[in-house]
Amino acid sequence: MKFRSDPSAIRGSLAPVVTPFTDAGAVDHDSLRALVRWQLDSGSHGISLGGSTGEPSAQSVAERIAAMRTAADEIADRVPFLPGTGSAKLDETLELTAAAAELGADAALVITPYYARPTQEALYRWYATVAREFPDLPLVIYNVPSRTAVDIEPETVRRLFTDFDNVVGVKETTKDFEHFSRVLHACGPELLVWSGIELLCLPLMALGGAGFISAVANLAPAAVARMYELWEQGDHAGARALHYRLHPLVDLLFVETNPAPAKWVLARQGRIASDHVRPPLTAPTDAGLERIRALLAAGGDLTQQL
């Protein structure tokens, strides 16, 4: 939790790792440890767990907490740890966030409550409740309308950022790039904004973004981290070159529902023991695998450390 007191230091490529399962469907903690070690060895600037790529809605609260514990133990304060602690239920969100705080997380990534489609006032009250309950824990709003059916508006983010010192940032996973700009304009440069849309990660840096929480870091962590570093060093041409080289792997992720394609690749590379995804997701179809193999051939060199 050494980054908790200065959340402005939580920048760069924060890898949203998959949650590995055994063939029988149990959480595979050994594979999770191996993934975290690989991310650290590859230069990722932080680790997230339990966002959309981690299949949180298919796990129990106890399973999610146990996975957070494993990740926190392996990270050991070497880089920032931002576990996803949101749920469709407020009591579960509070329980998960409390566990994250106890385990030493540097911030909690709290998704907008899904399925219910709350109003903006309801979203404000939801996050206000979490912020008041954990005043010493930095909170990052997680906006992913394609999965939750609700879009937290820039003005609502501004209200929360203004009213609560521990609301420090937002992960924007929307293809509406205008939304990114309006959030930063409403809140100012002190708000930390990460992109969760792979092909908007680099463009966000031009607006003053803090980095990216990009699923492609599961496949090419060194390349994604290096892209951020090149941008920060002023080598914008080098960063753009990596951005375009990553295109095939980005497309691979979404051949079928994420994270099934990523898990298939990771299992074939021996980084996790099984490509199992929990229902309602399924392993890639034969047609999907044909496309995945072609895209891996096009961009697979980046799955090795640079």
* Residues acting as catalytic residues: 142, 171
Residue type, 293: R
Task: Note whether 59 and 27 are within 8 A (CB).
Answer: yes
Q: Report strand pairing: 81-83 vs 108-111.
A: unpaired
With the CA atoms of 218, 213, 49 and 142 taken in that order, what torsion angle do they form, in degrees rounded to the nearest 10?
-150
DSSP-H helix ranges across 116-254:
120-133, 145-148, 154-163, 177-187, 201-207, 221-232, 236-245, 247-253
Give the integer Cα–Cα distance in Å for 51 and 85. Answer: 8
Residue 191: exposed, middle, or buried by beta-carbon count in 10 A (0-12, 13-18, 19+)?
buried
- State the helix-helix crossing angle for 286-299 and 260-268, rounded to 10 degrees: 60
Q: What is the 3-state secondary structure (H, E, C) of 62-106?
A: HHHHHHHHHHHHHHCCCCCEEEECCCCCHHHHHHHHHHHHHCCCC
Give the integer Cα–Cα distance in Å for 104 and 236. Answer: 35
Give the integer Cα–Cα distance in Å for 143 and 120. Answer: 13
